[in-house]
């Protein structure tokens, strides 16, 4: 294989997670930003970001080990 699929997946979720988290933080107190009372953009953005980082690290680790 020429491409470890975890790398693009990780990068995608890092970018989307960061985008959502920043947007969630900026609009935290804006009307309609948390219709359910949960700052979900901020929280879920963080979850996506963490997942993306894990995927990127796994891809890098595999590359170092030559898997």
Partner 1 sequence: MTHVAGIDYAVMVLYSAFVLGIGVLLRRSVRTSEDFFLSGRSIPAWVTGLAFLSANLGAQEVIGMGASGAKYGIATSHFYWIGAIPAMVFIGLFMMPFYYGSRARSVPEYLKLRFDEKTRALNAVSFATMTVFSSGISLYAMGKLLHLLLGWSFDASILVAAGVVLAYIFLGGLTSAIYNEVLQFFLIVFGFAPLVFLGLRAVGGWPGLSARLATLATANGYAPGAYTRSWAFMGHAAQNPVGVEWFGLVMGLGFVLSFGYWCTDFLVVQRAMAANSMTAARRTPLIAALPKMLFPFLVIFPGMIALVVTPPASPPATSAQVAPAPGPAVTVTATAAAAPAGVVPPKLDPRTGAPLRDARGRVVLDYDLATPMLLLNFFPAGLLGLGLTALLASFMSGMAGNVTAFNTVWTYDLYQSYLRPGAPDAHYLAMGRIATVAGIAISIAAAYVAASFNNIMDFLQLVFAFVNAPLFATFALGMFWKRATGHGAFAGLVAGTLAAAVHHGLSLPAGASVGVKGGYLGVLATFPSELAQTFWTAIVAWVTCFLVTILVSLVTRPRPEAELGGLVYGLTEKPRDAVAHWYERPVVLAAGVLGLTVLLNVVFF
Which residues would be at the binding site for partner 1 (CB under 8 A)? 1-3, 5, 8-9, 11-13, 15-16, 19-20, 23-24, 27, 31-36, 38, 40-41, 44-45, 47-48, 51
Residue 38 beta carbon to partner 1: minimum distance, rounded to whole angstroms: 7
| Angle of CA points 21, 23, 25, to nearest 5° | 70
How many residues can be counted in the chain? 67
Residue 47 beta carbon to partner 1: minimum distance, rounded to whole angstroms: 8
Please say which residue, 1 or 65, places its beta carbon nearer to partner 1: 1
How far is the CA of 15 from the CAs of 7, 45, 48, 57, in angstroms?
12, 9, 9, 15
């Amino acid at each position: 294989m020429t491409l470890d699929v975890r790398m693009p997946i990780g990068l995608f979720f890092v970018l989307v997670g960061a985008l959502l988290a920043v947007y969630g933080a900026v609009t935290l107190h804006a009307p309609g930003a948390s219709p359910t009372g949960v700052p979900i953009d901020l929280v879920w953005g963080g979850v996506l970001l963490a997942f993306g980082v894990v995927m990127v690290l796994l891809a890098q680790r595999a590359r170092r080990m030559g898997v």
